[in-house]
Structure formats: C-alpha cells, structure tokens
Amino acid sequence: MWTNDTTIRNSKPATKAFRISDGRGLYLLVQPNGSKWWRFDYRRPTSGRNTLSLGVYSDVPLKLARQRRDQFRQVVADGVDQRANWETQKVANANTVEAITRGGF
C-alpha cells in the first residue's frame, strides 16, 4: 500500500501505537503521544530481521524517507551489512584515547 502525505498528516494518535505502511519495508509508526517515526524493516545479510529508524516525520518528509529506504535497500542488496559496520565502528571509536580518558570505555 503506497500512502501519501495527506494520509500521514491527518493520522491521529490512538491508545496503542499503529503503523501506516508505505511498502517495501517502510512504514510510519504513530505513537500514542502523537510522535510519528519512520521505520524500515529489512533482513540483514548475516542474520535475521532488523528495524532501522529513518527519522521523525516532521523532519523527514515522505519523499526523503522513501529515498533513504531505497538507498539502504541498495546497500543491503550489495551484500553489505551496514549495521555490523556501524557496530564495529562504534567499538573502534570507544577504544580511542579520548574516549578512555573521558570515561567512555
């Protein structure tokens, strides 16, 4: 189901969080407090399913969320496990002298 900006703007929060699907793994998660978060569900090349946050609706419009989803789908299709790269980089950054001296080890 492809959605449009009017549907997203007019969505009202409910007592439970709900999704507005846009297709190909992209959806908008509407929280009970009214916040709207773009999420992308995908399958990692090295492990199971994961969810990636693409930003808040007011800051990230529908068109940009679709572009980010398509870029990430291309990375996954190329066999790159971007989340593993991020996790490796985070560990490497945590082991720097600056991080250790600031107590971030």
Q: Measuring CA to CA, which residue among 33, 34, 52, 32 is closest to residue 44?
A: 52
Q: Provide the pLDDT for residue 97.
A: 63
Q: Provide the pLDDT for residue 49.
A: 86
CA–CA separation, 86 and 79 (whole Å): 15
Q: Provide the pLDDT for residue 89.
A: 74
CA 12 to chain centre: 21
Q: Are 57 and 31 in contact (CB under 8 A)?
A: no
Give the residue extent of every domain in the chain.
5-101
pTM attached to this predicted model: 0.75
Query: Residues 43, 47, 51, 54: what is their CA dihedral angle, to the nearest 10 degrees?
Result: -80
Residue-by-residue pLDDT tens, the chain, 105 positions: 568 999 999 999 999 999 999 999 999 999 999 999 999 998 876 777 888 899 999 999 999 999 999 998 988 888 777 666 667 777 777 666 666 666 654
The CATH T-level fold of domain 5-101 is Double Stranded RNA Binding Domain (3.30.160)
Work out whether strand 36-43 and strand 49-56 pair parallel, antiparallel, or are unpaired.
antiparallel
